[in-house]
Amino acid sequence: DQHLDDLDPEVATAIRAELLRQQSTLEMIASENFAPVSVLQAQGSVLTNKYAEGYPGRRYYGGCEHVDVIETLAIERVKALFGAEHANVQPHSGAQANAAAMAAVLQPGDTIMGLDLAHGGHLTHGMRINFSGRLYNVVAYHVDRESGRVDMAEVERLARESNPKLIIAGWSAYPRQLDFAAFRRVADAVGAKLMVDMAHFAGLVATGLHPSPIPHADLVTTTTHKTLGGPRGGVVFCTRELAKKIDSTVFPGQQGGPLQHVIAAKAVAFKIAAGEEFRERQRRVLDGARILAERLTRPDCAEAGVKVLSGGTDVHLVLVDLVESSLDGQQAEDRLHRIGITVNRNAVPFDPRPPMVTSGLRVGTPALAARGFTAEDFTEVADIIAAALKPVFDETELAARVAVLAEKHPLYPHL
Ligand code: PLP
């Protein structure tokens, strides 16, 4: 068997270049993280070869005795981590977890409610050309223009007017906690099921640093690669009553053979997430985001037209509002890229600029916290970002400061 370097130098070289990019820049895309080497090992294992349609003890293929052990470990660990009655660890991604969860309680044509994509919702919460928008009748709710927070009065009004079968609470770009109990009350008032998509903040929930949606929701979905810090993939949690239904909408409803190598990597990530070290890391995630929000709300930033949506953050990200800045989202993203900080531009609610340009940045701290960044390091990161968003900035000086931070916290030193 030939080594990848010899067999396919083009791919091998690009992988090595990507490793170097991750090591030498500061990753602040809020949905990204650095999976530990143990997770990469599980994912790169011989489990790649195995077909295992079905569930532990009920497979449609022979030779599943070892993958049964692994999938059972993943299920039991993630149930214990989140205090859930039932978990399905097979969804290949967050989008497929959502598709399966929705199929379990909806028929095509049913009405769903979700946070508007332009206000921080996800594609799978009802975007027009996504499966969710094509299969279901979508009523979107919004954030309040003044507070930047989800407008629960609007949620209740829209729910009473449209009688949804399902209300989705969750977000991809929102800096605050949702009131799950209030969503439950609205759902109960109109006879809807409640689904919470905790993909972004699952790592915070796992460590008790964010309220858990599990006691309030009929269905909870997540990805495993964002704040949770595991392999790319999804999980659906549900009540005992919906367990059978979910297991059939994931397989055979949405998927064929499960990715057992990814499920093994999920099991490893769930073990890590249950430990004290992971909790300490999530505390640094929150500290870092708070430090960033505090820095970007000072008068020098206000003078440059830089603001922070909702005035702060309770989670792992900050949404920078550039509506009044001379820089648009694209220009700000490019500037940070040039000094070695990776973020994504993001529309802000009621954004006056077009979607490919935007007036915002989404800046997250999970990946840097995984590298070991402390409050002191995040203070330096925040100062660098604040300086880069001023009308005049010194690119060479800021790039040098970024390089110092990257060298201080080596990433994957043995890869
Ligand atoms: N749900 C939310 C809230 C997300 O932010 C995302 C990813 O960005 C997803 C679901 C989809 O996850 P995936 O990209 O794994 O399909």
Which of the listed residues 89, 124, 205, 225 should we mutate to test ligand 1's pocket, taking the one with most ligand atoms within 8 A of CB? 124
**Tens of pLDDT, residues 220-233:** 999 999 999 999 99
pLDDT, mean of residues 230-249 = 98
Which of the listed residues 223, 254, 316 should we mutate to test ligand 1's pocket, taking the one with most ligand atoms within 8 A of CB? 223
Q: Report the mean per-residue pLDDT for the chain.
A: 98
Question: Is 126 annotated for ligand binding?
Answer: no
Question: Is 117 annotated for ligand binding?
Answer: yes
Taking the C-alpha atoms of residue 380 and residue 395, their distance in angstroms, rounded to an integer, is 15
- Of the pLDDT bands very low, low, confident and very high (cuts 50, 70, 90), residue 363 is very high
ipTM over 0.95? The verdict is: yes
- Of the pLDDT bands very low, low, confident and very high (cuts 50, 70, 90), residue 115 is very high
- Of the pLDDT bands very low, low, confident and very high (cuts 50, 70, 90), residue 61 is very high
CA distances from 215 to 155, 195, 314 (A): 20, 11, 20
**Tens of pLDDT, residues 312-325:** 999 999 999 999 99
Task: Compute the distance from residue 33 Cα to the ligand 1 centre, in Å.
Answer: 14
Give the binding-site residues of ligand 1, using a 6 Å CB cut-off: 31, 93-95, 98, 122, 124, 170-172, 197, 199-200, 223, 234
pTM (2 d.p.) = 0.98
Q: Phi-psi category of 306—alpha, beta or left, where left has phi over 0 and alpha has psi -120 to 50?
A: beta
% of the chain surpassing 90 pLDDT: 100
Task: Compute the distance from residue 34 Cα to the ligand 1 centre, in Å.
Answer: 17
**Tens of pLDDT, residues 2-50:** 999 999 999 999 999 999 999 999 999 999 999 999 999 999 999 999 9
Report the pLDDT value the prediction gives residue 90, as an integer from 0 to 100. 98
Task: Compute the distance from residue 26 Cα to the ligand 1 centre, in Å.
Answer: 22
HEC secondary structure over 372-403 = CCCHHHHHHHHHHHHHHCCCCCCHHHHHHHHH
Report the pLDDT value the prediction gives residue 138, as an integer from 0 to 100. 98
pLDDT, mean of residues 274-283 = 98
State how far Cα 201 lies from the chain centre.
7
Question: Is 123 annotated for ligand binding?
Answer: yes
Residues 43-55, buried b or exposed e (16+ Cβ, 10 A)? beeebeebbbbbb
Name the residue at shortest CA distance from atom 13 of ligand 1.
Answer: 94
| Helices 395-408/329-339 angle, 10° precision | 60
Q: What is the DSSP letter of 150?
A: B
Which of the residues are catalytic? 51, 53, 197, 223, 226, 232
Report the pLDDT value the prediction gives residue 347, as an integer from 0 to 100. 95
Partners of 322 in the β-ladder: none
Token pair of 21 as six digits: 């990019």
Query: Ligand 1 atom closest to Cα of 198?
Result: 3
% of the chain surpassing 70 pLDDT: 100
